[in-house]
Structure 1
Amino acid sequence: MGISFQCLEDQRSLLFELKNDLIFNSTRSLNLVLWNQTQDCCNWDGVECDGVGHVISLQLDWEGISGGIHNMSSLFSLRYLEKLNLAGNDFGSQIPGGILNLKHLMHLNLSDAGFRGQVPIEVSLMRRLVTLDLSYRLGYNSLEIEDLNWKMLLQNLTGLRELYLDGIHMSSAVLSQQFFISLLTFHI
């Protein structure tokens, strides 16, 4: 359960819009299914707010979400988010470039989330990231990192301390020893 602060109305509206936009299995959902517009959204399961009432953490892992997230999703208007966990779902689409709108994001977990295609260059522009998990352990994964994106990821994410890329297809990426010295945890 989230920390008890008063939810701001715009944050509640964005979260409820997100819930309505997502396709999720209500029998598997432990959080989304319980979100109720009459309750303070800072008390919703999977939601954490700061002292002002901005949503700073969203834990939607293993919620039975399927279908993609489009670039105009209300998710990307939750601009104070510091932690986003979408692990264990089945989005079946590319990671949307709209993720760049989450400028305060420090912890991003997209592991086993069914994203496909190229990891967007926008991820390399998220300079506050401390933890990035794109790993895939469940069956076949078609998430890829090309040389150019890999190099930008290494150059730009200077604050990154944990990087999980298990199961990701990487083209002949040149791994920089200097980059890995700064990481506390690295998995490929």
Structure 2
Amino acid sequence: QCLEDQRSLLFELKSDLIFNSTQSLKLVLWNQTQDCCNWDGVECDGVGHVINLQLDGEGISGGIHNMSSLSGLRYLEKLNLAGNDFGSQIPSGILNLKHLMHLNLSDAGFRGQVPIEVSLMRRLVTLDLSYKLGYNSLEIEDLNLKMLLQNLTGLRELYLDGIQMSSA
């Protein structure tokens, strides 16, 4: 059963996100009457902590303005925001998710430099920053890639298709 603080954080996240309700198959159905562990896109552990959040293809746009709700889900092991159109930089609050093992930001419309702090997410096993649809303005500099690969010793899968890379 979902813990009350987890439910509150999920509702706070939902209210912060701008999403297309006709495209959404998950967020649009989240409501107070159901246990949040039974919501589409949400998986909980045996205690009621949210450990998996799958918000891929939900028509999300405009970024994440209040990261406290997402970073408050501190037991998250899997986060999938693929196939949206955030149109912003990767929010630094994602980097506070210390238990994250799988992070999928592919085709999510993020832009700018991939934060070097991603290399501090030492539990990551899978990292997908790829972009397959059209032009991507997500970038990795040579130094950041080197640091990323040196620090993420548990990383087994890294997807960087379509990412702009530069070297000094």
Q: Secondary structure at the match of 2:67?
A: coil
What is the Cα deviation at residue 70 of structure 1? 3.1
What is the Cα deviation at residue 71 of structure 1? 5.9
Q: Deviations over 1:29-69 (max 9, x none)?
A: 00000000121000000000000000000000000000011
Distance 2:167 2:141 in 1: 8
Q: Deviations over 1:81-118 (max 9, x none)?
A: 00000000000000011112100000000000000000
Distance 2:69 2:130 in 1: 25
1:133 aligns with 2:133: no
Q: Secondary structure at the match of 2:84?
A: coil
Distance 1:81 1:108 in 2: 10
1:71/1:169 CA distance change after superposition, 3 Å: farther
* Consecutive unaligned residues in structure 1, runs of 5 or more: 1-5, 174-188
What is the Cα deviation at residue 148 of structure 1? 2.1
Aligned 8 A contact 1:56 1:83 in 2: yes
Aligned 8 A contact 1:133 1:165 in 2: yes
Identify which of 137, 141, 165 aligns with 1:142: 137
Q: Secondary structure at the match of 1:73?
A: helix
* Consecutive unaligned residues in structure 2, runs of 5 or more: none
1:12/1:71 CA distance change after superposition, 3 Å: closer
Query: How many residue pairs align between the two structures?
Result: 168
Distance 2:89 2:158 in 1: 19
1:71/1:149 CA distance change after superposition, 3 Å: farther
Aligned 8 A contact 2:16 2:65 in 1: no
Aligned 8 A contact 1:48 1:56 in 2: yes
Distance 1:70 1:25 in 2: 17
What is the Cα deviation at residue 170 of structure 1? 0.7
1:10 aligns with 2:5: yes
Aligned 8 A contact 1:99 1:122 in 2: no
Aligned-residue Cα RMSD (Å) equals: 1.1
1:119 corresponds to which residue?
A: 114
Aligned 8 A contact 2:16 2:66 in 1: no
Q: Secondary structure at the match of 2:24?
A: coil
Q: TM-score, normalised by structure 1?
A: 0.87
Distance 1:55 1:28 in 2: 24
Q: Percent identity?
A: 93
Aligned 8 A contact 2:78 2:103 in 1: yes
